[in-house]
Structure 1
């Protein structure tokens, strides 16, 4: 059997991994009426989730801007990485991701609490890693 190929570049997946980690590290808003300087609060507000979160917005825009094939691969990679199959199941995972595809792909993926881990694990099944990408972007 031929080695399956990805329609989405590992670099794009790694960009999503890095941004998803930024998004996941956020905590609930602790001081909604804070008017002080962030440095006065030990920078705690930087890690708070806000309704107008630019990281979330950036991820949604990036995922929405992907082609249909790239979005299908992204969902299938997530499923592969969470253990819904192995690399030999890739055609089936893609077929199911295509069947389930709708206009809410970004919301679906960003609702997954371990999205970054699942994507990295899925990429690893293809022999790819985000290690080099993260070195250049963190």
Structure 2
């Protein structure tokens, strides 16, 4: 698979993964963090989550992003925070896309 052009940094995705794992205590902070992302970052974040849960294949990333833009009828932060297993979906999505986040993960340990 060719290198994808992510509009959100892996570090931001890792931050969201760690916040999502913290559970309810961090939910307000996570909500604000996602809300503060720009539209491109939100669409790419949603596409990563969809790929992680199997709604799209990694090679269909562009289509997933286009779908995220087209279907963004509710605030992204509300949609993603209502998604079961958000952290796992994002992790799986990054892995499927071949995005190496080992350096970013070390910053949180």
Aligned partners of 1:132, 1:4: CA distance in 2, in Å? 18
Q: Secondary structure at the match of 2:6?
A: coil
Greater share of helix: 2
| 1:7 corresponds to | 7
4+ aligned runs moved over 4 Å, structure 1: none
CA RMSD after TM alignment: 1.8
Point out where structure 1 has 5 or more consecutive residues left out of the alignment.
24-48
Contact residue 20 and residue 30 of structure 2 kept, 8 A: yes
Partner of 2:107, secondary structure, is helix
Pick which of 119-128 and 59-68 moved more: 119-128
- TM-score normalised to structure 2 length: 0.89
TM-score, normalization by structure 1? 0.71
Residues 4-62 of structure 1 deviation map (CA, whole Å, 9 limit, x = unaligned): 21100000000000000011xxxxxxxxxxxxxxxxxxxxxxxxx5xxx4x11111111
Question: How many pairs align?
Answer: 109
- Greater CA radius of gyration, 1 or 2? 1
Query: Which whole-Å CA distance do the structure 1 matches of 2:3 and 2:57 have between them?
Result: 12
